[in-house]
A = this chain, B = another copy of it.
Amino acid sequence: MSQTADRIASSPAPDSPTRGLSLRRALDFVGVQNVSLLIALGILVTIIGTQDPVFFQTANIKTIGTAVAISGLLAVAQTVVIVLGALDISVGSQAGLASVVSAMAFTATSGNAALGIAAALALGLCCGLVNGVVIVFGRVNPVIATLATLAAFKGVAQLVSNGRAQGYTGADPVFIFLSRGSIAGIPTLIWVFVLAAAAVHVMLKYTDLGRNIYAIGGNDNAARLSGININRYILGVYAMTGLIAALAGILITARTGSGQPVSGSEGLELEAITAAALGGCALKGGKGAVSGTILAVLLLGVLTNGMTLLGINPFWQNVAKGTLLVVAVVIQQVRSGERRVGLPT
């Protein structure tokens, strides 16, 4: 690993201000933060690809895309929450609840997919608002509030489903389209992910809403005194997160063909946070971008896919994953060359 780091370090840092304008432009576009992720991704792809060319087959590429779609959605939502300076640990169980509800509503309406989906989304919105209200008006710290709703939503999902997978959506054209269909040769799952991500990216980067979210995350006093209604933003962001989590839940239903109260959504919260943090979000807020998160999601997706492809023992996979995370970040830091004192952000 070390010599990788060396290679990076020795290659002239492309973001040095003395560089040519065109390159500067390119970098502003990519974002310095992301360069190191791209490098890591590149290295990883080359290693895996050379080991087993199957990796590059469209079929496999699609697989990676569909595999990361769901955790990717949550990671994107988490990015916004983190930029705001908060955290949402309940996304996983929100998705689980939404999955169950979508399937049950679908069954209850004797097979009306639209209604099933609508019900799930509406519910997601409510879950998000619950989080927001508890935080803003209950004055509960976001982490503990969403740790609480993590348990609560999961419990509700298990209660309504009595802990069993619900209904069967595998025969419904809409759900089939979601899980296996494709537009222009690209699987629907990937479309959903890409579109949602694009929307959030634009919101965060180009609208005043997004800019204010950065401001709140950066210094909420300053934001407040400059006339930003912080509470409304907190509610809004959590509501959006709930909505996206519900979307993820619906995709889970579509893929597994049934409403899954827990299985399929448990542990997604850590994945989402990992991706966001690896993508360059500062957990104290005010810093981060969708682009970085997506790169991180891909990095993790490629790793998982590649290691299975190369038939690496699952236990080693854990070790490898941990190592990759560290290496990827270390590259970033080596490049930014800050001084080595105190807690890194």
A residues apposed to B, CB below 8 Å: 84-86, 89, 134-145, 147-156, 158-159, 162-163, 216, 220, 224, 230-231, 234, 270, 273-274, 277-278, 282-284, 314-326, 329-330, 333, 338, 340-345
Contacts and interface: CB of A to CB of B under 8 A. Distances in A.
Nearest to A87: B283
Contact of A151 (B319, B333, B342): B319
Given A147-B273, A274-B147, A342-B230, A322 B141 contact: no
A151 B284 contact: no
A157 to B, nearest CB: 9
Contact of A274 (B144, B277, B343): B144
A282 B318 CA distance: 31
A172 to B, nearest CB: 27
Nearest to A337: B139
A274 to B, nearest CB: 5
A158 B318 contact: yes
Contacts of A141: 277, 282-283, 329, 343-345
B135 A343 contact: yes
Per CB-CB distance, the 4 closest pairs between chain A and chain B, nearest first, are A152-B322, A155-B318, A148-B325, A139-B333
A135 B344 contact: yes
B318 A136 contact: no
Contacts of A342: 216, 220, 224, 230-231, 234
Instruction: Name the residue in A135, A155, A340 with the highest tally of chain B Cβ atoms < 10 Å from its Cβ.
Output: A155
A316 B159 contact: yes
B343 A156 contact: no
Contacts of A158: 314-315, 318
B344 A150 contact: no
A6 to B, nearest CB: 15
Instruction: Name the residue in A323, A324, A341 with the highest tally of chain B Cβ atoms < 10 Å from its Cβ.
Output: A341
